[in-house]
Amino acid sequence: MLLSMTGIEKNFGGVPALSNTTLELRSGEVHALIGQNGAGKSTLIKVLTGIYDRDAGEVVFGNTACNFSSPGDAQVGGIATIYQELNLVPLRSVTENVMMGYEPKRLGYFIDWKEAHKRTRSILSRFNIDIDVTEQLGKFSTAIQQLVAIARAVSLEAKLVIMDEPTSSLDASEIETLFGVVRDLKSSGVSVLYVSHFLDELYEICDRVTVMRDGQTVAVHKVHDKSKLDLIGDMLGRDVGEIEKEGMTQLGHGFADTGELLLEANNVSTGPRLKRFNLSLHRGEIVGLGGLLGAGRTEAARAMFGVDPLVSGKLQISGQDWTPLSPTEAIEKGLAFLTEDRKVEGIIPAMSVRENLTLALLPSLSRGGQIDRAREKQIVQQYIDDLGIKTTGMEQPIRELSGGNQQKVLLARWLITDPDILILDEPTRGVDVGAKREIQIIIRNFVEKGVGVILISSEFEEIVEGANRIIVLHEGESVAELSNPGITEAALVNALAHGRVEAA
Amino acid sequence: MEYGITSLRRLGKHGGLIALAILLLFNILITPNFLQLQTLSVNISQVATIAIVAMGMTLVIATGGIDLSVGAVMALSGALAPLIFGSQFGTDYPTLGLMAALCVPMIIAMLCGWFNGAIVAYIGVQPIIATLILFISGRGIAQVLTNGNLQTFQNPAFSYLGTGKVLGLPFQGWLALVIAIILSLVISRTTFGRYLLAVGGNERAASLSGGPVHKVKIGAYIVCSALAGLAGLVVVAINSASDAARNGELMELDAIAAAVVGGALLQGGRAPIFGAILGAVIIQLVKYTLLANGIEDEYALIAKAFIILAAVYLQMGRRVKHA
């Protein structure tokens, strides 16, 4: 046994975040830690790495009882952690980032750059990364940066590597590289604690899984003994049969006849990342955009919403030509765009739930520049109730809400504008299983009311079950279209991989 | 540890008021004749200009920007007014001349603000660099306009701006109060105010939600410059003289300090208008305390630095809560 945490208790201001939590890892094991947002996964990791002091319980790491007082302390002790948010310095070179704090020295004070670059190259080569290590880190893609962060952690000779959602910004081939490294670590006797919302990944690399719910450890399984549904059932505390009957997602409920044509895109281009995009969208319809990372899905959404100006091609709304020049104009035309990156492009952290929720509605909520505050409060309260947003009140700062509830507020921000066309970019990413279902139900309800939805999702289940049609994008071009009923995950994967629909 | 952070946070919230209370108490005990109407009047008449400029600065800081040109704009508008009411036109038509002496400098100031805002919003120049242009050239223009001379004048109507009294207290104090009330209503009740905080809080999110980011930024710079222009007029009115070389000198630093002491965050997203007034009052009281007790002005500058340091430290304490 490499790590054993037992009877861990942690309270925040009297509210228990962890109660009698247990986590055990064997040497050379890849162990998954799963649970809904707020189940206590991050708190448990922070207790382990010394960011939080525990109120009670015992931590034994490598046969000695230990009590790390800071992440640095934990690192020296042999635990390396890679957080979701990158802790790197984008303006400094790759070498400096990888070697920071462990630079090879000459004469005791001067950094031996030649040796530093050499070591960095050899560390990165394990990840099949061949880049100029003297370049600024920030010049590389997020995925490369993520891999560099992982490489750094691994190079510190840790006995345990903790990875918190490491694949959320990686594409398929980079994920494969990462998995290769995880298997490598395992075979050299290093343990990995793997936190992820993507359950499919668990079956690829993990040996055992610990499931948490409401601050407690509810189950420990061998991964291959359990199905995905079993794990979801454990996370939610619900019966598996019940989930099975309702389908994996809440998006697909038969495909009713769709209505009039809302939006049409003809050979739209905004530059090298979106070269030729075609789409048509009707009332009461979900059209999915399929594609790998960088295929141009987000760029297509930005083009339709007036963020990136059109270089060529034509957009029509309700049969009339339209050139979107700004999001403001797009909103006036009845479009709404739920962006992918909640933190960077979605929430305004210091503002309240109320102010975040009505941001896009302000023009029609005001007269002569003055906000109708009574009406504002009434609308906000209604949406908090309707969407089941968990908050202490509409004046609570949005940054204090959980990811799922923040996402509901952002969804509400667009739904209150009463849009005809709703563009959703990864609407359930980084959201726990419970909130995911609720968000899917909300989307489905609005589709049934006649809204047309353009859905971008990396979760194949969502677009396979939910979309009437899927437009497949490949290197900035629309290359294929699949129609439901009849779409399978296999067909979609095939289309993504080959950039066309295989003849049956 | 928990307790330490909590109490620090509490202190951060009320730090300004506590500092004010300490200053008042200190003065009541030490400074001779502190509790006199005369003392109050002197302090109000001096704090009003800092407060007026600091409120404008607070709006700009709320967008995540900064305006270094306020002092230069003060000099410019202050130089223009006597030129206008002292001109042939101004002496022939005193009433119209007075109106023009108030309006034209304000319009010029607003044009300065538009210039600052346009460079920041449309060209994307960093605010500190963009406003450096007028910081340097504005005072130069003012000195060219006045040939570098001190202009003295006799114009009781115009001087009311700086020497008039309402209910026994200086007119400019009331002016600052009225502006504060209007601005805080604008921030809490109008779309402009909401967008202002949204732009400072997360510019990309505000833009993607249809917020008129460019207009809001330019608007903030225009209001800031207009208030600086007004303060420039007040200073000239107090002295019955316009000195383009001295009017508004180092005001940008006083205004930024007052805004920060009042609780503005330099990264944007907050606009505590009454906080700016509180900050201005604290800075003024420190100056006055040292002066009234015979301590030289140079030491007042050092004391001011410590106040800013303390304010920033307390703000860090406040941010611990958010982490």
Contact at CB, A399 and B322, closer than 8 angstroms? yes
Q: Is the pLDDT of residue B321 over 50?
A: no
**Does any CB of chain B come closer than 8 Å to the CB of residue A229?**
no
- For residue B188, what is the nearest residue in chain A, using CA coordinates? A371
- For residue A417, what is the nearest residue in chain B, using CA coordinates? B209
**Does any CB of chain B come closer than 8 Å to the CB of residue A392?**
no
Q: Which of A345, A351, A413 sits opposite B204 (nearest CB)?
A: A345
Q: Which of A58-62, A143-147, A241-245, A317-321 has the lowest mean pLDDT?
A: A241-245
Non-local CB neighbours of B37 within 8 Å, separated by 6+ positions: B168
Answer whether residue B273 is part of any domain.
Answer: yes
Q: Which of B198, B269, B322 sits opposite A359 (nearest CB)?
A: B198
User: Which range, A26-40, A291-305, A444-458, B52-66, has the best average confidence (pLDDT)?
Assistant: B52-66
Q: Give strand ranges (E) for A1-55.
A: 3-12, 15-25, 30-34
Answer whether residue B128 is part of any domain.
Answer: yes
What percent of chain A is predicted at pLDDT more than 70? Answer: 92
What percent of chain B is predicted at pLDDT more than 70? Answer: 92
When pLDDT is cut at 50, 70 and 90, the band that residue A254 belongs to is low
Contact at CB, A327 and B208, closer than 8 angstroms? yes
Query: What are the tens digits of pLDDT across the range B237-252?
Result: 999 988 988 899 889 9
Q: Which of A286-295, A314-323, B152-161, B273-282 has the lowest mean pLDDT?
A: A286-295
**Does any CB of chain A come closer than 8 Å to the CB of residue B216?**
no
CATH assignment at residue B310:
1.10.3470
Distance CA A412, CA A427 (A): 12
What number of other Cβ atoms are within 10 A of residue A174's Cβ? 20
Query: What are the tens digits of pLDDT across the range A171-197?
Result: 777 788 888 888 988 888 889 999 887
Q: Is the pLDDT of residue B318 over 80?
A: no
Q: Which stretch of DSSP H or E encloses residue A350?
A: none
Span A475-495, mean pLDDT?
79
Contact at CB, B197 and A350, closer than 8 angstroms? yes
- For residue B204, what is the nearest residue in chain A, using CA coordinates? A345
Q: How far is A272 from chain B (nearest CA, A)?
A: 22
Answer whether residue B4 is part of any domain.
Answer: no
- Answer yes or no: are the C-beta atoms of A226 and A203 closer than 8 Å: no
**Of the candidates A252, A203, A194, which has an alpha carbon nearest to the alpha carbon of residue A228?**
A203
- Answer yes or no: are the C-beta atoms of B18 and B281 closer than 8 Å: no
- For residue B6, what is the nearest residue in chain A, using CA coordinates? A13
The whole domain housing B189 covers 18-24+36-322
Span A386-398, mean pLDDT?
89
Taking CB atoms and an 8 Å cutoff, what residues of chain B touch A366?
190-191
When pLDDT is cut at 50, 70 and 90, the band that residue B207 belongs to is very high
Q: Is the pLDDT of residue A30 over 90?
A: yes
Span A201-217, mean pLDDT?
90
Answer whether residue B9 is part of any domain.
Answer: no
What percent of chain A is predicted at pLDDT more than 90? Answer: 29
The CATH 3.40.50.300 domain(s) of chain A lie at 3-246, 249-334+419-504
Question: What number does CATH give the domain A249-334+419-504?
Answer: 3.40.50.300
Q: How far is B29 from chain A (nearest CA, A)?
A: 41
Question: Between A479 and B185, where is the model more confident?
Answer: B185
Distance CA A430, CA A436 (A): 9
Span A394-398, mean pLDDT?
91
Q: Is the pLDDT of residue B262 over 70?
A: yes
Contact at CB, A355 and B210, closer than 8 angstroms? no
Q: How far is A245 from chain B (nearest CA, A)?
A: 38
pLDDT at B2: 40
Q: Return the residue in B207, B209, B319 with the most chain A beta carbons within 10 A, the one to mutate for interface testing.
A: B209
Contact at CB, A369 and B190, closer than 8 angstroms? yes
pLDDT at A220: 93
Answer whether residue B156 is part of any domain.
Answer: yes
Query: What are the tens digits of pLDDT across the range A70-126?
Result: 888 888 888 888 876 667 788 888 888 888 877 888 887 888 889 899 989 988 887
**Does any CB of chain B come closer than 8 Å to the CB of residue A309?**
no
**Does any CB of chain A come closer than 8 Å to the CB of residue B112?**
no
Contact at CB, A371 and B198, closer than 8 angstroms? no
pLDDT at B13: 60
Answer whether residue B13 is part of any domain.
Answer: no
When pLDDT is cut at 50, 70 and 90, the band that residue A410 belongs to is very high
When pLDDT is cut at 50, 70 and 90, the band that residue A498 belongs to is low
Taking CB atoms and an 8 Å cutoff, what residues of chain B touch A351?
197-198, 201, 269
Taking CB atoms and an 8 Å cutoff, what residues of chain B touch A306?
none
CA angle B45, B48, B49 (to 5 degrees): 110
Query: CB under 8 Å, gap of 24 or more: what pairs does A197-200 form?
Result: A197/A34, A197/A165, A197/A168, A197/A430, A197/A431, A197/A432, A198/A167, A199/A34, A199/A228, A199/A231, A199/A232, A200/A228
pLDDT at B3: 43
Span A278-299, mean pLDDT?
86
Q: Is the pLDDT of residue B287 over 70?
A: yes
Burial B196-233 (b: 16+ CB within 10 A, else e): bbbbbbbbbbbbbbbbbbbebbbbbbbbbbbbbbbbbb
pLDDT at B48: 95
Q: What would the two tokens of residue B103 be?
A: 């309006």
Mean pLDDT of chain A: 85
Span A398-413, mean pLDDT?
89
B281-to-A325, A395, A498, B47 alpha-carbon distances in Å: 46, 30, 70, 6
Q: Which of B197, B204, B208 sits opposite A351 (nearest CB)?
A: B197
Taking CB atoms and an 8 Å cutoff, what residues of chain A touch B204?
344-345
Q: Give strand ranges (E) for chain B.
A: 151-152, 165-166, 169-170, 241-242
pLDDT at A23: 93
pTM over 0.80: no
pLDDT at A241: 67
Mean pLDDT of chain B: 88
Is A3-246 a domain of CATH 3.40.50.300? Answer: yes
Q: Is the pLDDT of residue B226 over 90?
A: yes
Q: Which of A42-46, B29-33, B127-131, B295-299 has the lowest mean pLDDT?
A: B295-299
Taking CB atoms and an 8 Å cutoff, what residues of chain A touch B210?
326-328, 330-331, 359-360, 362-363
Contact at CB, B201 and A349, closer than 8 angstroms? yes
**Does any CB of chain B come closer than 8 Å to the CB of residue A188?**
no
Amino acid at residue number B64: G
Taking CB atoms and an 8 Å cutoff, what residues of chain A touch B264?
none
Taking CB atoms and an 8 Å cutoff, what residues of chain B touch A373?
189
Instruction: Say how many domains are in chain B.
Output: 1
Q: What would the two tokens of residue B99 be?
A: 């109106």
Q: How far is A203 from chain B (nearest CA, A)?
A: 35
Contact at CB, A359 and B202, closer than 8 angstroms? no
When pLDDT is cut at 50, 70 and 90, the band that residue B323 belongs to is very low
Span A309-336, mean pLDDT?
90
Contact at CB, B191 and A337, closer than 8 angstroms? no
Q: Is the pLDDT of residue A260 over 90?
A: no
Q: Which of A339, A347, A371 sits opposite B191 (nearest CB)?
A: A371
Q: Return the residue in A304, A308, A335, A351 with the most chain B beta carbons within 10 A, the one to mutate for interface testing.
A: A351
**Does any CB of chain A come closer than 8 Å to the CB of residue B212?**
yes
Q: Is the pLDDT of residue A440 over 60?
A: yes
pLDDT at A246: 58
A with B: how many residue pairs have Cβ under 8 Å apart?
78
Span B83-110, mean pLDDT?
92
pLDDT at A231: 84
Question: Between A254 and A260, where is the model more confident?
Answer: A260
User: Which range, A264-278, A371-385, B258-272, has the best average confidence (pLDDT)?
Assistant: A371-385
**Does any CB of chain B come closer than 8 Å to the CB of residue A51?**
no
Q: Is the pLDDT of residue A314 over 80?
A: yes
